[in-house]
Structure 1
């Protein structure tokens, strides 16, 4: 009597040949997603490329060379044509404005420091685009993000990229278990960005030497204030710069021009000690400044938590984790104390400077590469 045997899993984790496995690739037009699409097509997968048009290219909100701008749609289409798989452009302009741009503007006007790239992944790419991938009868959706999806004893887990310098876990903490089951990240195991460009050259892709996109895709040259003033005319209300005792030290052009921790460009020179922005009081239209030590924070309130641990968040009184409060900073050891399934208090074992409402607080294994999710910092400590 012959034993039942299961067919081997392909590289995307399915027990069937690549040719019978449909994968939608989210193509931004950059080198990363182009390599993913070309590589999967080379392996014989049924690849469908999809590029999102996220804003009106004639409106000049986006800067030249930005993600999802006109040239990027052209580059993505060219890769698809050269590698022989279908490519579609979806108009998500209204979705992107409602789900990402409007909140970005309103958060800044409320004195927060938002991270729209996270909201774009959460509300557009991994929600609406993922639903479109399912409508196209795809088995999974692949992206060019530098992060790893590994199978654990309880299902798929999210892990940091092999190359710490390229790791994008901070921007993907809100990926849900259901989304993670459908997503694939083929570049996460690569040792460096050079390896990606080498693959692009190997496949003969015209984007092999294309520069990486910088800053937020719809913010030209990092000038947040000008974009917000265009979206919300008259939002730049001038006001006073005051110290923590309320003493007026100068005037400003509008709270939206400042961020927590800022030192330069305050226009209050000549003081004995350097001062930093420690608070933005939107109601009073005041920028509050103080000494550097006032920026140090140990207790961080977090809400809208997306939890990726095996046990429920509230199954313990506290979790020992490492956290990132900004994408450019290394993780710091902390204690996570749940209040509910979506709200908690984070206590840093050593103070962190410049913690700002609107930023994400992402949870990591203290020793290891796994991401346990994260949440949003919602008020100053």
Structure 2
């Protein structure tokens, strides 16, 4: 009986009833005819050797070199994905996968699909996303360009760890495994190479259990250049990391500018600061400090609005700080604070005009009045920024309010109200 069962697994390991599949080995594909057969062969051999009920799934992104026929001829399942892009291909494959777990990897023979035990073990033990780490497992000579190895990947991985407190050391490894249901729940959206970052970041924000295993990277077997474009795709990764963290994109730079500007403005408001016999900070530095404050306030307001909108739409998970923010800010409160700031600035400005009038509007040999003018204008600009930001906050709330009112309006319409 055991021999019969083993024979069945060997002959039908990739064609069992979908409900029984444990693992899908997923490969995005765009003109990979040179290496696809090798990758599928290794993946099939792994499933058979490990006795795992699974499938090899090729998410084809419009190949014109016969990759689809190669895959089908080797017993893999092919799902066409018309929308172009690395992320789009993987999203199509994830949606079509039948396995409870999915292990994804590039079809260029740079990853060894015959050595997946570490991924499967971690997934079976409860990990929901298992990342490969090429820096721990080893990068063979010629497998990764020096710019990627020593700058791009380390810098972007460091930013990811700093922004999102994720322990992964290699954010962009193409070989990773995950619980299919949990990743589908994340509703991933990006269609380009930044999909690799989105999966990790969204998994971390959702509280998924993320683990790493060492992975070896070898030179790919293709004769053509890779699809990856260093600067374009690096920027897309960085842009995604920044857009998903308003705190680091807006709030921290804004508070830094505000803090430095306030310190300089406070020191210089009552007169110049003599640093040494040849260097003095005076009105020009005070003016620059006020510009720093205005810019910093604008950045902080962007961060507050971004975080508020992310909470309204569910893009980012709630935190104690965001809960306080949701309770504390409103269009009315921001508009009131902005009005107070505006009229305080106008008061300084009028005081400066009166003081200048007492001098018959003549030359100003003392910088006291210009300082008051600059301070007043700074407060006026900040007040205007705050006032219009308050109404932008109200605009952001409109879809949410409309959605909440929709059931009520629907009932009223049905009742003829």
TM value normalised by structure 1: 0.30
Higher relative contact order (CA 8 A, sep 6+): 1
Q: Highest Rg: 1 or 2?
A: 2
* Structure number having the greater helix percentage: 2
TM value normalised by structure 2: 0.28
* Structure number having the greater strand percentage: 1
